[in-house]
Structure 1
């Protein structure tokens, strides 16, 4: 299938999952699930979260995952079979803004790093609330790419690249800071935000997670940076990586709320 600018593959998602492991753990806790519960992961990717959620709800529980990419869904199904949880985990191809589930179908619903890819994220949040039972919890997790900061002597170029990553490479790159307001406007009660810093000291890992090749092409195409400026900036980061002093920082935001 043809993928858009914001597309990332399973290898990217696996690397991001390791970096965001604490945020994932906190998001599971905020769902307040017990054995036998039903839970939906919206934008499930290759099953990164549906498999751990299957362990939380146990053999009598039910986990559903939905993703618009058939390749991701196929990989999620493969991983569920390999983990021996496929009888209580299902993955479907579908649209986050038109979930194929009945009202109040789940005890909890979560999404992680999904809304930053959506042009109409509030529609997706409304759908998540709709399919959550009264008293159930909705948990939203997203990166705020506007908080991304990377050490470099090329500070002015780094700020321009931050703009490219947040505004040209993603549909909703400032999603993290918007989760609280979206949850409130969606009618959720007891809305609680939390922010977790994410840092990377491995240049190669950061380059993968920032999709720097794509970002550089977008920067040049948009006239925000020249090809030489992109090269200079990357060389400055590469030098810090070789010196063992590379450092990058961003923020992961978690917001939970209860459907009344």
Structure 2
């Protein structure tokens, strides 16, 4: 038996009013900030190519209701500014709105963990 599990950072979502900026930042995060940020979605093909029979697939959403408990704050801000993905004004608005949403109890983010079990 083999079990592989990882986050599919490409599935990340959060409630922010500017959808274009949200998509730009989350795609950047999955593609650049995370090593192999799309690994979770590749497990089935990886196992099959290695002649491992897939016997179970589970997806677990990881929901966070506090902006400061996510990786989308200070780290993402620094990296987005360093790589020119967003302007300082955009990142200030991002951090302020998401901090306010946390304070008001309105913050929501989700990312999927993918677990695939197989046997050879």
Fold shared by both chains (TM-score > 0.5):
yes
Q: 2:109 and 2:7 mapped to 1: Cα distance?
A: 14
1:200-215 mapped onto 2 (5 Å cutoff): 200-206=64-70, 210=71, 212-215=73-76
How far residue 168 of structure 1 moved from its aligned partner, in angstroms, is 1.2
CA distance in 2, matches of 1:257, 1:187: 10
Alignment RMSD: 1.4
SS in 1 for 2:110: strand
Match of 1:157? 21
CA distance in 2, matches of 1:170, 1:146: 10
Look at both structures and tell me which one has the larger radius of gyration over its CA atoms: 1
Q: RCO (CA 8 Å, sep 6+): is it higher in 1 or 2?
A: 2
Matching residue of 2:93: 232
2:114 is paired with a residue whose SS is strand
Which residue is 1:250 aligned to? 111
TM-score (norm 2): 0.91
- Which one has a larger percent strand, Structure 1 or Structure 2? 2
Separation in structure 2 between the aligned mates of residue 205 and residue 215 of structure 1, nearest angstrom: 13
Indicate the residue corresponding to 1:241 in structure 2.
102
Aligned partner of 1:184 among 39, 45, 48: 48
Unaligned runs of 5+ in 1: 1-136
